[in-house]
């Protein structure tokens, strides 16, 4: 499954939030943590940005968004584990 990873300028543009507000929301559990792209580069899966924007547009409360953030981050981990098991299986490990 191919997923686009958005860098900070694109995330700011799509969310309408400033850099400082994004990182404040991360610290409050209201936004997913960025993915390291190496060096000092980070990004976010485009699907997560769309989902978080949709929740805000729908008027979801902060507590609901915190639960959504936890679910999105858990989904990241599960997707990684599934991909890892598929790669291991196809290589005969």
Q: How far apart are CA 85 and CA 1, in angstroms?
A: 15
The domains of the chain are located at 5-90
Phi (first) and psi of residue 45, to 5 degrees: -60, 135
Q: How far apart are CA 25 and CA 20, in angstroms?
A: 9
Phi (first) and psi of residue 2, to 5 degrees: -90, 130
Residue 6's SS3 state is: strand
pTM for this one?
0.85
- In the DSSP assignment, the letter for residue 86 is H
Q: Tell me: pLDDT of 49 over 90.
A: yes
Residue-wise DSSP of 16-60? ---HHHHHHHHHTTSSPPPEEEETTEEEEEHHHHHHHHHHHHTT-
What is 5-90's CATH topology?
Answer: Multidrug-efflux Transporter Regulator; Chain: A; Domain 2 (1.10.1660)
* Residue bearing the bigger pLDDT, 33 or 80: 33
Q: Span 59-78, mean pLDDT? A: 96
């Amino acid at each position: 499954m191919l997923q686009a990873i958005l860098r900070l300028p694109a995330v700011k543009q799509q969310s309408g939030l400033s850099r400082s507000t994004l990182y404040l929301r991360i610290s409050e559990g209201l936004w997913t943590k960025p993915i390291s792209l190496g060096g000092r580069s980070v990004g976010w899966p485009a699907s997560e940005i769309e989902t978080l924007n949709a929740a805000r547009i729908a008027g979801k409360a902060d507590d609901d968004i915190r639960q959504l953030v936890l679910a999105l981050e858990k989904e990241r981990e599960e997707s990684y584990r599934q991909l890892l098991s598929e790669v291991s299986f196809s290589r005969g490990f």
